[in-house]
Amino acid sequence: MKTIQLKPPGNVNDNTSAEGEMEGARRATGISPSAEGFGPESNGQTIPDPEVSEKELRRKHTAKYKLSILEKADTCTQIGEIGALLRREGLYSSNLTTWRRQREKGQLQALRPKKRGRKEKEINPLTKRVAELERENRWLQQKLKKAELIIEAQKKMSEILGIARDLNESIEIK
């Protein structure tokens, strides 16, 4: 019968190196994973994205932003304040020059955002008066129709009785 030797509990795997790390866990370069900042021992470090965008996007500034920067630049009185403002905002002096020209031409006011939706109709001050007069006109037309009906009825009555011609003739004679 053969005797099998048991190993102590600390050395469970035969593939350990002198540093105490497993051979199978090593990278191809020979550097352990914890040395590069990967894995749970990385202390919260993030891996930078290796993807590079083809073209950097151009920054777009709103008219409101441009006007606010111009106002700040106009209030600068000390030497170096404008430079500090430009550095803080990440702008160039040519931006200020261009924006000042645009402001002088009135282009920045035209770029302000417009209110969306239906445009409000301007209220004509005469609209109320016109509506009043139209109402009065309708009322007077109804009154006129009533008066015409009454006159027609009177004419028919006078024709039936034969009074109307006699009255007209007698008025002309006098």
Say what the pTM is.
0.35
More confident residue, 169 or 132: 132
pLDDT, tens digit, 9 for 90 and up, residues 82-124: 999 999 999 999 999 998 988 888 877 765 666 778 888 888 8
pLDDT score for 30: 53
* Amino acid in the structure at residue 140: L
Residue in the structure block whose two tokens are 């606010």: 68
Long-range contacts of 41-45 (CB under 8 A, 24+ apart): none
